[in-house]
């Protein structure tokens, strides 16, 4: 910058300051000046209140000093708080599979035209009828139970067309497609699917049940069960899930078929209902499940404490003494 430019610079600033003051007065705001070093005020034409300002410049003959431009102080504000207008939807990692044809099956069912496989045993229980306690007669019912006996297993059960076990052990696909595989697996040939909870929805009613068998028709349709595909089966109106008589009655299926939605659920998503009342395989009805979990957790805590005490004792012995 040349000397001539430097000489003109204060005059340019003074002109800008004058224009700023004219703009303020044009808006109807009165400016009150005071002696050097004292604060100035602006009068709000709407409220009549004086607002203190910071004085960055004051004018002189040929130079600028702090105090001429009126700068209003920012008003005090309360912290901004976000208030949602509606409840947050519950997150679930298992989406609904919609418009799936369901067929009714039952423990002890004999082979027929629509069901070539007998249901005296399941894919994971060779003595399924014995474990259940008898024949789950779909026609003779006592509420949600078969008439004449209380079943030894949950009467709310389903079958889906994927089996994680083959004749040689756990399938290779199981590790890749089952979301909870790592959490439940402990040896090859042992299923991690049996007992998994599902929700089945028909219109405005939702029933909860446990996965206890494989079908209908397919045994390796992981693309549908754990993916986004539709069921592979073409039989029985492309059925994608088998449901027990108790589920049929709860959801109000009119016959041996029905259309429903379903999804997997975690155990803490299962609400109160008749599906919690019966069965040695049911963690809600069988207290030994809860007791075993509590015992395992307590034993684990004790072992951790013991290990901690040993480490502390070992560190204390290894530290050199200070004289």
* DSSP letters spanning 204-227: TEEEEEEEEEE-SS-SB-HHHHTS
Residue position matching structure tokens 């029985």:
236
pLDDT at 77: 60
pLDDT at 273: 97
Whether 81 shows a pLDDT value over 50: the answer reads no
Q: Does domain 97-289 have CATH number 2.40.40.10?
A: yes
Give pLDDT tens digits for 125-160: 999 999 999 999 999 999 999 999 999 999 999 999
Residue 67: pLDDT band with limits 50, 70, 90 = low
Q: Which two tokens stand for residue 155?
A: 């009467």
- 102 near 257, Cβ under 8 Å? yes
214 φψ region: left (φ > 0), alpha (ψ -120 to 50), beta (else): beta
List the one residue out of 49, 55, 13, 54 whose CA is nearest residue 30.
Answer: 49
Q: Tell me how far apart the alpha carbons of residues 61 and 117 are, in angstroms, rounded to a whole number.
A: 107
- Alpha-carbon distance values, 249 to 202, 206, 263, 284 (Å): 12, 12, 19, 21
pLDDT at 117: 81
Q: Which two tokens stand for residue 287?
A: 């207290």
Q: Which two tokens stand for residue 79?
A: 């912290």
Give me the residues paired with residue 62 across strands.
Answer: none
Angle among Cα 71, 73, 76 to the nearest 5 degrees reads 160
Q: Tell me how far apart the alpha carbons of residues 62 and 45 are, in angstroms, rounded to a whole number.
A: 33
- 213 near 122, Cβ under 8 Å? yes
**Higher per-residue confidence, 93 vs 286:** 286
List the one residue out of 204, 210, 207, 209 whose CA is nearest residue 191.
Answer: 210
Give pLDDT tens digits for 221-280: 999 999 999 999 999 899 999 999 999 999 999 888 899 999 999 999 999 999 999 999
DSSP string, 147-192: TTS--SS-S-EEEESB-SEETTEE-HHHHHH-TTHHHH--STT--S
Q: Which two tokens stand for residue 206?
A: 């939702």
What is the SS3 assignment for 83? coil
Portions of the chain given CATH number 2.40.40.10? 97-289
Q: Tell me how far apart the alpha carbons of residues 224 and 5 are, in angstroms, rounded to a whole number.
A: 79
Whether 197 shows a pLDDT value over 80: the answer reads yes
Q: Tell me how far apart the alpha carbons of residues 277 and 147 are, in angstroms, rounded to a whole number.
A: 16
- Alpha-carbon distance values, 130 to 107, 136, 287 (Å): 10, 11, 21
- 162 near 233, Cβ under 8 Å? no
Q: Which two tokens stand for residue 5?
A: 């430019």
pLDDT at 73: 62
Residue 92: pLDDT band with limits 50, 70, 90 = low
pLDDT at 148: 95
């Amino acid at each position: 910058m040349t000397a001539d430019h430097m000489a003109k610079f204060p005059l340019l600033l003074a002109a800008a300051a004058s224009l700023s003051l004219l703009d303020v007065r044009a808006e109807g705001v009165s400016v009150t000046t005071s002696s050097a070093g004292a604060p100035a005020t602006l009068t709000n034409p709407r409220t009549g209140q004086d607002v203190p300002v910071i004085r960055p410049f004051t004018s002189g003959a040929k130079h600028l000093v702090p105090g001429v431009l009126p700068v209003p102080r920012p008003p005090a504000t309360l912290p901004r708080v976000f208030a949602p207008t509606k409840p947050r939807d519950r997150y679930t990692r298992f989406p609904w599979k919609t418009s799936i044809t369901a067929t009714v099956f039952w423990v002890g069912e004999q082979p027929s035209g629509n069901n070539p496989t007998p249901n005296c045993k399941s894919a994971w229980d060779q003595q399924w009828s014995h474990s259940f306690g008898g024949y789950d007669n779909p026609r003779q019912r006592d509420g949600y139970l078969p008439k004449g006996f209380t079943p030894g297993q949950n009467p709310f059960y389903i079958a889906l067309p994927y089996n994680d076990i083959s004749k040689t052990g756990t399938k290779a696909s199981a590790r890749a497609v089952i979301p909870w595989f790592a959490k439940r697996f402990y040896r090859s040939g042992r299923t991690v699917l049996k007992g998994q909870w599902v929700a089945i929805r028909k219109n405005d009613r939702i029933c909860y049940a446990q996965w206890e068998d494989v079908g209908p028709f397919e045994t390796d349709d992981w693309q549908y069960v754990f993916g986004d595909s539709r069921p592979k089966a073409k039989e029985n109106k492309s059925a994608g899930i088998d449901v027990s008589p108790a589920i049929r009655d709860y959801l109000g299926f009119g016959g041996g078929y029905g259309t429903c939605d379903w999804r997997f659920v975690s155990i803490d998503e299962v609400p109160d209902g008749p599906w919690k009342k019966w069965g040695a395989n049911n963690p809600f009805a069988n207290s030994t499940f809860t007791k075993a979990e509590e015992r395992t957790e307590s034993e684990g805590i004790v072992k951790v404490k013991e290990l901690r005490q040993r480490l502390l004792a070992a560190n204390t012995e290894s530290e050199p003494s200070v004289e």
